[in-house]
Amino acid sequence: MNLSSYEGPRNGDYVAYVDQLMRASPEYRRTLRSIDGAIQTAVVTPGSQGASPMSQLRNGLQKARDMAEQAQQMQGARSTAGGRAVQRPAAARRQDAAVTKQEAQQRFKTMEREIEAQKAGTGRKPWVSPGSLALIVGGVILSQFIQGFGVLLALMGLMSAVGGVLRRLQGR
């Protein structure tokens, strides 16, 4: 390394300096393009499985970004009337940008809720929990040897099963 042409990091920011050096490398750019291509082919490749929550989120975010860009383009088209530029106050432009950001955030939250609802829908809970059934069966078996304790376990399991069914019915 030629020390006379050496440019060190500005203000001791070594991370930014190393990142800048890496981004200047053609191998780094080539690697990023190949990773991007692999991700795109993995997303495009059809499969028998449904879309994962991450891919659903990615698609939803892409749609939201496209919609926000279209809204900005439409606002830009509105601001130029008849080929001449109409000057709008900066506060009004910022307010329009804030509205689009709010709309994008709202859409993002809606998509998150939909994905969470889909996740919750896939994990169906049984009407009677396995723990309740184990207590009932264990209590019946133990009642043959230790009558009081076995009956107590069976009653606890039965009460737990009835409570689970009632909770399930109240939830509907």
Structural domain boundaries in the chain: 14-45, 53-79+87-121, 130-171
Calpha distance 39→23 (Å, rounded): 20
pLDDT digits (tens, 9 = 90+) for 12-53: 778 888 888 888 888 888 888 888 877 776 665 555 455 666
Residue 92 scores a pLDDT above 80: no
Calpha distance 151→142 (Å, rounded): 8
User: In Å, how far are 78, 86, 89, 93 from 83, measured between CA atoms?
Assistant: 11, 9, 19, 19
Calpha distance 128→119 (Å, rounded): 21
